[in-house]
Amino acid sequence: MSNETSKNRRFRQMLIPTIIMGVIAIALLIVAYYKGGGEHILGLKSAGNILLQVLPMLIFVFIIAGVIQHILPVDMVAKWVGADSGLRGIIIGTAAGGITPGGPMVSMPIAAGLLQSGAGIGTMVAFMTGWSLWAFSRIPLEVGLMGWKFTAIRLACTFFFPIIAGLLANLFFSKINLT
């Protein structure tokens, strides 16, 4: 697939979610406007503050995601996390997801960059599942709020799920072309 076709496809993939979010944002602004008291202005100011806080991180994450696609040798990606990497790739994806800090604004662009670089579906499902379930960067807060016992139980109960999810993705969806 040509680079231009890939760009058009990615644009189309983002179009519907963007329109949906735009409609929701406009609807909420209208509700806030009719509520009165300048709530819509306060909401826009809050949105601007959040944007200023998050924008620097987003810029760097997107740089990382974009550069990953061009600096990682395709044969290395294929060997370690590609479709044929098997259980090794799934374990690497699981561990990488578990140690990836931040929210979806960090993990999803990285996963997308790795997919574009040739990472396998099972590996990326394991990555996203490991990021979601393990989230090692969250553990200090979780321990502080919920205690060691709860955290240990949660980790024990979710330990194998990223690997199982990756194996299932390979088993049922490995023939699907995502790029």
Domain boundary assignment for the chain:
60-173
Give me the pLDDT at residue 70, please.
Answer: 81
Phi-psi region of 37 (alpha: psi -120 to 50; beta: other; left: phi over 0): left
Give me the pLDDT at residue 5, please.
Answer: 66
Give me the pLDDT at residue 7, please.
Answer: 66
Cα–chain-centroid distance for residue 27?
A: 27
Give me the pLDDT at residue 3, please.
Answer: 58
Give me the pLDDT at residue 95, please.
Answer: 93
Give me the pLDDT at residue 4, please.
Answer: 61
Give me the pLDDT at residue 67, please.
Answer: 84
Give me the pLDDT at residue 68, please.
Answer: 78
CB 109 within 8 A of CB 76: no
Three-state SS annotation for 72-89: CCHHHHHHHHCCCCHHHH
130 contacts: CB under 8 Å, gap ≥ 6: 93, 94, 95, 96, 97, 98, 162
Mark the ranges of the chain whose per-residue pLDDT is less than 70.
Answer: 1-7, 10, 179
Element (H, E) at 130: helix 121-133
